[in-house]
Amino acid sequence: MYFLLALAFLVPSVRAISEESKNDDIPTLGEVIDFFNTTEKIWVYTSSEGPERQCLSIKKISGEDNAMKYRFTQEYLDNTGTHTQTLTVRLTAKSSGKPPGMTVTSGRKTTRYTPKKFNVNEQCGIFSFNRPGKKEKQCEVYVWHNTVMRTTPEVCFKEVDVVCEGLKKYQLYSSSCPW
């Protein structure tokens, strides 16, 4: 009898611990592919890089992608106006226990990104990267347009504080963004 009672209290505790440990999960290639598998705009909600660029978003160019390569139109505002450019994203599978590789190319500049966390319910993802020639890690939170229209991605905000500990956060998305 005491064993069953102890077991009844132990099972919820074990479940809570296992749910917490999921925070250490390494993103899979499938999660990255699923995240980019949308026809809607994806906003850079927050970034550790300065606030010079605002309303930064990407939108997949339809018909020009496969599971490992995508092309996006990127739009953003800065103090000189509105800017648009094309980005090419290439994904690579890594060995077990490592997140997939991801390179983003714009013109002749290529930046390596690392997928860090995804939340399916909030349709958001956290990515870290280092700009070429710079040592410091940067982080960005990407959120699907559908999510920013209905809610704030609270879970991703909490996760970015852990994943990108010590980095500043600048909010780039605002409901007043023009597109």
What is the per-residue pLDDT for 2? 44
Query: For residue 10, what are the contacts with CB-CB under 8 A and spacing of at least 6?
Result: none
Query: What domains are there in the chain, each with its CATH number?
Result: 24-171 (2.40.128.20)
The predicted model scores a pTM of 0.83
| Contact in structure between 130 and 141 (CB atoms under 8 Å) | no
- Residue 22: its pLDDT value, please? 45
pLDDT of 17 higher than 50: no
Q: Do 73 and 61 touch, CB atoms closer than 8 A? A: yes
Structural contact between residues 71 and 61, judged by C-beta atoms closer than 8 angstroms: yes
> What pLDDT digit, counting tens, does each position of 39-59 carry?
999 999 999 998 899 999 999
Separation CA 41–CA 109 (nearest Å)? 23
Instruction: Report pLDDT for 71.
Output: 94
